[in-house]
Structure 1
């Protein structure tokens, strides 16, 4: 027989279940926060067509693993999974199944960033007219073709976004994966490539990652390890395209001082994600003392590379020559 005590217990269970379900529905409706920042602003779907309700593909990874990852990058002979680099179009990456240097026939290139700045700009057909279109990580195309185009020649993918980015793979696309030289990350990518032989997957060499760490120090006068800095996927994309393409158009990348100016058209960090102010993410990371990207400092470097490598910026349009004398001084 059910007495009053049992009824109260069942009522509490029902209430707890109702509250939990309501909370889950609320989180799914709002969408997860993107990036490490505070004071995020929500961009309503009515502001432009990119910001519709979408199931966000959020890059995962634990930045607090920085010190261990950095040590592996320096000390571990992780490249034993692949042969050493030889001559080729770009010797920083080797394609796993054919054991060859990355090679692509590209004259004109487009690099489509993940920024919400590209929303509503109708650049899709212009992007598709270039020889090679490069995208980063899992940035979606379907549903956003008018602004980001349809063609994808290659995706430049971070090791900790590899699994998620596979959802965006399609026939004929190259996957160009950079790692931090940790054996477990390299082994994961190699084993996947060998068990999925219809997918062209190329991966960074140990020597190339070491070159990038040295290049960062030369460009910023900061050690990547001592400054607790993660290089962004944008860094690897820029370095690849400045060597591989005769000319490159970059879409959706703001200039280095954009977030410090007033009355700028702010947008979301990702064009497919409903929440997260891009500048909030950038400024928070720039000031962080532990395991962060230095997005704005990188853009100063990108501007110098762009001038030397026939690269131009669109949506928004800005002249990289305006920043050639700007130097990275400090992060925090």
Structure 2
């Protein structure tokens, strides 16, 4: 072998060795990087609502440690939470909160719910609002494909299945908007006053509470083992962290959206906002009254929902 040939062979061997080393290095690095990304995935969905290295606007508002649902164990309220919650109530509606809680959890489930979040879970939520913009949307099958379908107040499905679907896993109510639900549906009470908790107890026992600030149903049909109550501290958190104290307190719709952000990995929103003509009305009402936001910061709530949409935290389906 000539000197040139020996040198060429040596260089080739060195190049092959270096190539092999670099391949092993980068291949190992790629595998480690892939495994790292896999181990840091927040959920098993194609898209996870909450992710590592999230947007500062979102992380400033979203507090993953807060418990959205009330249990006996977490029922003690701080002075700040208690005073805020009491401020929503009529003076005549106030009662001994601790005594009411004792009665409440003798009747209804007292266990933490939806605490199984992790890289193996993919739970999808459809939050179905009552806006007239959902009419003619043909979203029914899409809505029913979700794991959880959350509906609010008396919003019906019968006769509107093509647009709103037929599945309901969680029905959000307060005493003044109560509606019967079937045995497979979770009844979720948003209690804006202690009397609301008392009404819930009464509705399943004595049936003697028939009046709050207006007449209410003395009883409802629901599965006692599927009753849940939104935590007052969660309401305050939504009002202050998400809504920056706009309005007197959050609307049922925005509270439901916030609840979905905390119990699901993917959140899709249907039937929120005005219709294509700028009118705010319910899809199930023949006479289309134009609803005002009242005590709620409706415009700010909707703008906040739009921010969640633009930051890819939720998807909004508006039907038009």
- Indicate the structure with greater strand content: 1
Query: After superposition, where does 1:120-269 map in structure 2 within 5 Å?
Result: 120-162=136-178, 165-166=179-180, 169-182=181-194, 184-193=195-204, 198-199=223-224, 200-204=226-230, 208-222=231-245, 229-254=248-273, 264-267=276-279, 269=281
Conserved 8 A contact 1:193-1:201: no
Larger radius of gyration: 2
Q: Give 1:304 shift.
A: 3.9
Determine helix, strand or coil for the equivalent of 2:127. strand
Query: After superposition, where does 1:261-280 map in structure 2 within 5 Å?
Result: 264-267=276-279, 269-277=281-289, 280=290
Determine helix, strand or coil for the equivalent of 1:135. strand
Matched, 1:293 2:309: no
Give ranges in structure 2 of 5+ residues lacking alignment.
Answer: 1-84, 117-121, 207-220
Conserved 8 A contact 2:135-2:319: no
Matched, 1:281 2:307: no
* C-alpha distance in 2 between matches for 1:98 and 1:265: 44
Alignment correspondent of 1:310: 313
Conserved 8 A contact 1:83-1:99: no
* C-alpha distance in 2 between matches for 1:304 and 1:149: 26
User: Structure 1 82/149 Cα, relative in aligned 2: closer, same or farther at 3 Å?
Assistant: same
Conserved 8 A contact 1:95-1:102: no
Give ranges in structure 1 of 5+ residues lacking alignment.
Answer: 1-65, 85-92, 318-332
Conserved 8 A contact 1:242-1:306: no
User: Structure 1 110/220 Cα, relative in aligned 2: closer, same or farther at 3 Å?
Assistant: closer
TM-score, normalised with respect to structure 1: 0.55
Q: Give 1:295 shift.
A: 1.6
Q: Give 1:218 shift.
A: 4.0
Determine helix, strand or coil for the equivalent of 1:133. strand
User: Structure 1 128/218 Cα, relative in aligned 2: closer, same or farther at 3 Å?
Assistant: closer
Q: Give 1:214 shift.
A: 4.6
Q: Give 1:171 shift.
A: 2.5
TM-score, normalised with respect to structure 2: 0.57
User: Structure 1 144/203 Cα, relative in aligned 2: closer, same or farther at 3 Å?
Assistant: same
User: Structure 1 139/197 Cα, relative in aligned 2: closer, same or farther at 3 Å?
Assistant: closer
Partner deviation per Cα, 1:224-251 (whole Å, 9 max, x = no partner): 7xx6x24211122011100111101111
* C-alpha distance in 2 between matches for 1:309 and 1:83: 41
Q: Give 1:181 shift.
A: 3.0
